[in-house]
Amino acid sequence: MPDTPTVPAPDPTPTPAAPIPAPAAGNDFRGRVRSRFGFGSRLRARLSFRFRFRLRRSVLVPLTAAVVLVAGTGGWYAAGGGRSTVGPAPAGGPGDVVAPLARSMHLPWPREGQASVAVEGIGSLGTRGEQKPVPIASVTKVMTAYVILKDHPMRADAPGATVVADRRAADESYSSVETTAPVLAGREYTQRRLLELMMVPSGNNVARLLARWDAGGEKAFVAKMNRTAAGLGMRATTYTGVSGMEASTRSTAADQLRLARAAMKDPVFRQVVATASVTAPGAGVTFRNTNKLLGRDGVIGLKTGSSTPAGGNLVWATTQEVAGVSRLVLGVVLHQRAGTTPAEGSAAAHEASRVLITAIRADLPAAVNRA
């Protein structure tokens, strides 16, 4: 069932140094139709051991007052080095333990929602905000892509398997209530191109098409998503759909960071989320990546997601050279300006992420030297 309606507005492209303003109301979106591992340790005598789209020069999404647009305006991490636990140890793997250098970094965490950041080879820089499961909108597609690539592995730069678009995916291209991308019934598409159409403009219909192709049905695919989440220790995450359209799909920043670490180990996933634009075959429509930070400040991904109940969400990946080594920095910002328009939430998530990225990249090299 669709979420409560809002009328979106366009996101103007920010300059790297300036905050990203919320877009003016009434215009179009253009170019897109839009986890205690604890071993909660107890010491005992013994230690006992989580697109309505229009094919013209752009794609427009007309919304009515009865519908919400779920906008797709949604890494890889290996912990290392010395680290210490600050407070209770969170559930999960080594990236959940806060690195000692994090204590000397005064990061501009978002004032609302929740966030989590980790650096490859160094450790976690911390998690802020109550880690309570919240709607994540199109950030859901990170798991969708991860499962598809686990089930159908691809070589880097290869097209992958061939997928034939079904009538349902084609008909859903015309939806006016969600983000879609155009596909033609009976047409063959490469696995890579469909992954791009799902992740770059955040095509919900393409996510569902891939789920049916992989598992024979969306319900069976959702079960795979939840099994995968459990396997990754994402104990606060529940998937109820493959696209993020459902507000009942919920997660936390810590859980989504865990997933990002796993997903970014796949070279094809890294390539897809770093794609700046993609053209829909046979439709003549080119979409720009909904991640407006891509290509700036070392940003190489990852996924956006926004809706009225979810607010603005952004999982991001950037790089920074530290002591002569390029380090991957992964971050998750969730639930920004929830209850407002998707456009306002998206702008807030992008701005909160931009500020974090800028501060981390500026201070990380010095922080390593201080530690």
The active-site residue out of 35, 116, 124, 141 is: 141
The active-site residue out of 173, 175, 202, 251 is: 202
The active-site residue out of 35, 116, 124, 138 is: 138
**Residue 202 annotated to the active site:** yes
**Residue 138 annotated to the active site:** yes
CA gap 102, 42 in Å, rounded: 26
Beta bridge partners of 313: 305
| Phi, psi dihedrals of residue 255, rounded to the nearest 5° | -65, -45
Closest CA to 322 of 293, 274, 266, 360: 360
Chain center to CA of 19: 21
H helix intervals, the chain: 141-151, 167-172, 191-199, 204-215, 218-231, 253-263, 267-273, 342-370
Structure tokens at 139: 């950030």
DSSP state of 34: -
CA gap 325, 43 in Å, rounded: 39
**Residue 116 annotated to the active site:** no
**How far, in Å, are 1, 36, 48, 216, 302 from residue 45 at the CA level?**
53, 21, 9, 51, 46
DSSP state of 158: -
Closest CA to 179 of 19, 29, 337, 334: 29
The residue count of the chain comes to: 371
**How far, in Å, are 27, 161, 329 from residue 11 at the CA level?**
10, 34, 25
The secondary structure of 172-187 as a DSSP string is HTT-SSS------TT-
Tell me which residues are annotated as active site: 138, 141, 202
